Amino acid sequence: MRYLIVNGDDFGASRGVNRGILDAHDRGILTSASLMVDMPGAREAAILAREAPELCVGLHLDLCGKGGDPVDLQDQDACRAELARQLTNFQELLGRLPTHLDSHHNVHRRPGLRPLFLDLARRHALPLREHSPARYFSSFYGRWGGETHLEQVSIDALSRMLRDEIGEGVTELGCHPGYVDPELHSDYSVEREAELRTLCDPAAREILAELGFRLIGFRDLPSARSAQPC
């Protein structure tokens, strides 16, 4: 069996990103999103999430100060407190725990920070990106080397990735759909709209069906894992 979680990072970054994520969920193949609780659109994102009960919403933990003051990444006590604060903020916004955890710029990969993220995930029984049954696939991304590469987030590229690079089991396809708006301060802008077009392209569902993929969210991980052969 092949299961696919399509997760949109940066939920809450702006109204345009929020709208793009909801459109990718309503009209496309996106099943999950990761909320940044300190960003300008976080409250709106929480309201929209309540109106989309099938959308899994996790916590996109930010220690880089994207929506507030940065944290000294060498100060473990400060980082631990910041992770706890953002989790509390998420619960206040959504009224529940997140379905999963990940981090802005994947700072949870840093050796000094990884134990803090793992501890938070274990204490709340939450899947953490790259530390769960879901393999993280990050190649659906349209910018590197300071240049835009829209061909990497085209429907043809997605089709090739699904056919040739994503195997059996559970895979999280990372993505960043959205609409460009004045609130969004990011180098990754037109690429978001290109991602959105691809995720909403009817051909995307056709390819998934042809290849035998089943779309799931993070809340479906336990049942998907139990369905895998021993």
Q: Do 171 and 5 touch, CB atoms closer than 8 A?
A: yes
What pLDDT sits at residue 230?
Answer: 40
Residue 146 sits in a domain whose CATH number is: 3.20.20.370
Residue 226, pLDDT score:
59
Q: What is the pLDDT of residue 228?
A: 58
Would you say residue 70 has pLDDT above 90?
A: no
pLDDT at 66: 77
Give the per-residue SS3 of 72-119.
CCCCHHHHHHHHHHHHHHHHHHHCCCCCCEEEHHHHHHCCCCHHHHHH
* Residue 225 binned pLDDT confidence (cut-offs 50, 70, 90): low
Domain extent at residue 151: 2-227
pLDDT digits (tens, 9 = 90+) for 91-107: 999 999 999 999 999 99
Residue 202, class by beta-carbon neighbours within 10 Å (0-12 exposed, 13-18 middle, 19+ buried)?
exposed
Q: What is the total count of domains within the chain? A: 1
- The residues, ordered by sequence, that sit 6+ positions from 1 with a Cβ below 8 Å of its Cβ are 168, 169, 212, 214, 224, 227, 228
